[in-house]
Amino acid sequence: MPEKAVYKRVLLKLSGESLAGEDKFGINLEVLRSYAQEVKKAVDLGVQIGLVVGGGNIFRGISEAAREMDRVSADYMGMLATVINSMALQNALENSGLDTRVQTAIPMNQIAEPFIRRRAQRHLEKGRVVIFAAGTGNPYFTTDTAAVLRAIEIEAEVILKGTRVDGVYNADPEKDPTATKYDELSYMKVVKDGLKVMDTTAITLSMDNRLPILVFNMDKENNLKRVLLGDPIGTKVRG
């Protein structure tokens, strides 16, 4: 009996830092290949996938210089970093045999399509992985907020936030061995307790649109596929 996914369309959010692997910044090719393989397993299940990746792995290397800049200029630099990561992911995904499109919130026609909602939806319907780059195209908004916004626009059923830990904890599990993992959380508890799921704007936007968020460990092999099959892993945030 073939495996059946519990979701038809999802938005996968990856941090830029995760692409650096064990390095402090830059792009780790092994991590890139691994993520591409995990996404391919998801597409093979028949799931339509939109993807948003941050830019911290590149921006961290120039953050000292950015400290001297105004916030708007620094934010635009961060958006450009997400475009670099998106192009790297696109290449890795296509090397894995997947059809992809990069759509950017800031027009740069020589390297990517501009974000057009209906076009993005058509790409997804045709089985292409669509990578949304350059955040929302506006300063003062994070890639977390961009991920929620794009998820709502493409009518995704859930945001899957791939991290380096297996869910949301009441403290940092990498620093505190007594940290306790939550299996499920409400949006309000995330905001009230200041839990590091996504920034407050992203959480409230998810809450207003009843869009669940599932936080899981992307670095563990087959975890993305397990989430899509409905296995009880990670932490689910909902109303």
Domains defined for the chain, CATH in brackets: 9-238 (3.40.1160.10)
Give pLDDT, residue 61. Answer: 59
Q: What is the pLDDT of residues 87-107, one digit of tens each?
A: 999 999 999 999 999 999 999
> Tokens representing 104?
């950017």
Q: What does the pLDDT profile of the chain (239 residues) look like in tens digits?
A: 678 999 999 999 999 999 998 887 899 999 999 999 999 999 999 999 999 999 989 876 566 666 778 888 889 999 999 999 999 999 999 999 999 999 999 999 999 999 999 999 999 999 999 999 999 999 999 999 999 999 999 999 999 999 988 899 988 877 888 889 999 999 999 999 989 899 999 999 999 999 999 999 999 999 999 999 999 999 999 98
Q: What is the pLDDT of residues 163-201, one digit of tens each?
A: 988 899 988 877 888 889 999 999 999 999 989 899 999
Give the sheet arrangement for strand 158-163, strand by strand. Answer: 113-114, 100-104, 129-133, 48-53, 9-14, 158-163, 213-217, 235-238, 184-186
Q: Between the CA atoms of 120, 75, 64 and 201, what dihedral angle is there, to the nearest 10 degrees? A: -90
pTM of the predicted structure, to 2 decimals: 0.94
Give pLDDT, residue 25. Answer: 84
Residue whose pair of structure tokens reads 């759509």 in the numeric block: 103
**How far is it, in rounded angstroms, from Cα 182 to Cα 194?**
14
Residue 65 makes CB contacts below 8 A (sequence gap 6+) with none
Give pLDDT, residue 239. Answer: 81
With H, G, I as helix, E, B as strand and everything else as coil, classify residue 6.
Answer: coil
**How far is it, in rounded angstroms, from Cα 4 to Cα 117?**
27
Closest Cα partner for 191 from 181, 179, 205, 177?
205
* E runs forming strands in the chain: 9-14, 48-53, 100-104, 113-114, 129-133, 158-163, 168-169, 181-182, 184-186, 213-217, 235-238
**How far is it, in rounded angstroms, from Cα 187 to Cα 163?**
19
Give pLDDT, residue 63. Answer: 63
Give pLDDT, residue 165. Answer: 86
Class of residue 152 by CB neighbours under 10 A (exposed 0-12, middle 13-18, buried 19+)? middle
